[in-house]
Amino acid sequence: MRRLLVTGGAGFIGSDFVHYVLEHTDDSVTVLDKLTYAGNTDSLRDLPGDRFRLIEGDICDQQLVDHLFDEHDAVVHYAAESHNDNSLAGPAPFVQTNIVGTFTLLESARRTGIRFHHISTDEVYGDLEFDDPERFTETTPYNPSSPYSSTKAGSDLLVRAWVRSFGVRATISNCSNNYGPRQHVEKFIPRQITNAIDGVRPRLYGDGLNVRDWIHADDHSSAVLRILDAGVIGDTYLIGADGEKTNREVVELILEEMGQPRDAYDLVTDRPGHDKRYAIDWSKLRDELGWQPQFRDFAAGLADTIAWYRANEEWWRPQKAETEGKYAKVGQ
Ligand code: NAD
Ligand code: TDX
């Protein structure tokens, strides 16, 4: 039984990991989360009190981080500013949390020698052409496009340097786009589901033909647990599930599942610098650590996600109007 410290555990993927670990292991979990607009304590409801606790705090607070590292056996680092559109409107918190925050954690990892796993994104590799036969691998050169992805890339490079220079016992994973319950309504899939619930037509940026490589959040969580248990210190692992879809295809599936015409969406102002396509080659994780995704039917996973948003309006409703207000200001 390990004592895990999970940063950003009140967010979408971090909370999925907390639920996953408490269900599938004997480990105990402490969440360190600043509870920004993206953190939601309702995502951590009904967890066993003897194995779970939430500490409200900032990963940039060295004293707090030092204290918590001393009390735990391993750290899984999810905390980040995570939304590309926000990073275009105001990049400062992205630099602070994603870079300075990761630096703060690494300094504690260096002092304590604790096992550290850093959660990152495939966006650090930039984007692929639509007809490129290659997918991202662990050796693809870094080429990030947005303030968000460049700060994630910066944090990955800090982790690599702290491993090499100071012997920090860290691994890194770069995952593709996640979907599932408890994702903030600013993100593509929950935004369109909740728009459709509200009778508002979904909004696609540009021509809607950008491609994302979708993975269910539970598959991301199982992969992270596998890397924490068996990953090689200093190594990077790509996590994906062969889920490439254009944004139009995703919206058409949502509309169909919700009983609306498949073409009942609008094309709106494109995202500046919008990455064309992401695609992950996850064969290293399969071949070296024996991991496989469980959710192979995207339409079925999406239908479950839609059902969750229908059944949990009290979870997302408080965030909806403010989120749409921000989009309205930029014509999206
Ligand atoms: P999210 O925005 O839903 O959650 C982020 C969490 O971090 C929130 O609970 C927030 O309160 C917390 N946080 C923010 N700043 C903090 C700080 N300074 N100190 C402590 N806590 C802070 O994000 P998410 O989508 O769950 O993403 C989690 C991680 O996974 C991020 O590192 C992101 O880069 C990575 N990732 C996300 C995806 C995706 O598809 N969403 C894909 C690959 C990787
Ligand atoms: O209303 C929308 N309409 C639209 O067409 C929104 C919100 C998005 N989009 C498009 C932009 C992207 O092509 O949908 C796609 C997905 O958009 P996001 O949900 O904002 O995700 P993305 O920018 O791809 O980044 C996500 O995956 C990688 C996460 O937010 C990141 O945290 C993760 O690193």
Q: What is the CATH number of the domain that holds 114?
A: 3.40.50.720
187 CA: nearest ligand 2 atom: 19
Q: Does 211 sit in the ligand 1 pocket, CB within 6 Å?
A: no
Cβ neighbour number for residue 304 with a 10 Å cutoff:
14
The helix/strand/coil state of 250 is helix
Domain membership of residue 16 as a residue range: 3-184+215-244+274-295
Count of the separate structural domains present in the chain: 1
Of the bound ligands, which one is closest to the alpha carbon of residue 179?
Answer: 1
Residue 321's pLDDT is 97
Instruction: Reduce the DSSP state of residue 74 to 3 states and report it.
Output: strand
Cα(180) to centroid(ligand 2), Å: 14
Which residue, among 235, 234, 233, 217, has the nearest Cα to 295 in the 3D structure?
217
Q: Hey, CA dihedral for 183, 106, 239, 46, is it positive or negative?
A: negative
CA atoms of 315 and 181, how far apart (whole Å): 10
Tell me how far apart the alpha carbons of residues 317 and 308 are, in angstroms, rounded to a whole number: 13
Per-residue pLDDT of the chain (332 residues; tens, 9 = 90+): 899 999 999 999 999 999 999 999 999 999 999 999 999 999 999 999 999 999 999 999 999 999 999 999 999 999 999 999 999 999 999 999 999 999 999 999 999 999 999 999 999 999 999 999 999 999 999 999 999 999 999 999 999 999 999 999 999 999 999 999 999 999 999 999 999 999 999 999 999 999 999 999 999 999 999 999 999 999 999 999 999 999 999 999 999 999 999 999 999 999 999 999 999 999 999 999 999 999 999 999 999 999 999 999 999 999 999 999 999 999 99
User: Dmax over Cα atoms in the chain, in whole Å?
Assistant: 58
- Any alpha helices (H) in 58-101, and if so which ranges? 62-70, 84-89, 92-94
Which residues, 6+ apart, have CB-to-CB distance to 136 below 8 Å?
A: 122, 125, 128, 174, 238, 278, 279, 280, 281
Residue found under tokens 């995952």: 175
Distance separating alpha carbons of residues 220 and 179, to the nearest angstrom: 10
Q: Does residue 249 lie in a domain region?
A: no
User: What's the pLDDT at 262?
Assistant: 97
Beta bridge partners of 4: 29, 74
Beta strands in the chain (DSSP E): 3-7, 28-33, 52-56, 74-77, 115-121, 170-175, 177-179, 203-205, 211-216, 236-239, 244-246, 266-268
Does 156 map to a domain? yes
DSSP conformation class of 271: P
Pairing status of strand 170-175 against strand 115-121: parallel
* CA-proximal residue: ligand 2, atom 8 (nearest): 188
Tens-place pLDDT, residues 288-322 = 999 999 999 999 999 999 999 999 999 999 999 99
- The rounded Å distance from CA 48 to ligand 2 centre is 33
Q: Which residues touch 268 (CB under 8 Å, ≥6 apart)? A: 203, 204, 205, 331, 332
CA of 219 to the centre of ligand 2 (A): 19
Say if 98 falls within a structural domain: yes
Q: Are 42 and 184 within 8 A, CB to CB?
A: no
Whether 210 is in a domain gets the answer no
pLDDT of res. 175: 98
The tens digit of pLDDT for each residue in 261-276 reads 999 999 999 999 999 9
- The single-letter code of the amino acid at 277 is R
Question: Does 13 reside within a domain?
Answer: yes
Distance CA 46, CA 150 (A): 36
Q: Tell me the residue type at 187.
A: K
Distance CA 315, CA 323 (A): 14
Question: Coil, helix or strand for 214?
Answer: strand
For ligand 1, what atom is nearest to the CA of residue 40? 9
The answer as to whether 267 is a domain residue is no
Assigned token pair, 109: 């990892």
Q: Is residue 197 situated within a structural domain?
A: no
Is 148 a member of any domain?
yes
Q: Is the dihedral of CA 138, 140, 142, 143 positive or negative?
A: negative
Alpha-carbon distance of 3 to 21, in angstroms, equals 11
pTM greater than 0.75: yes
For ligand 1, whether the C-beta of 119 sits within 6 Å is yes
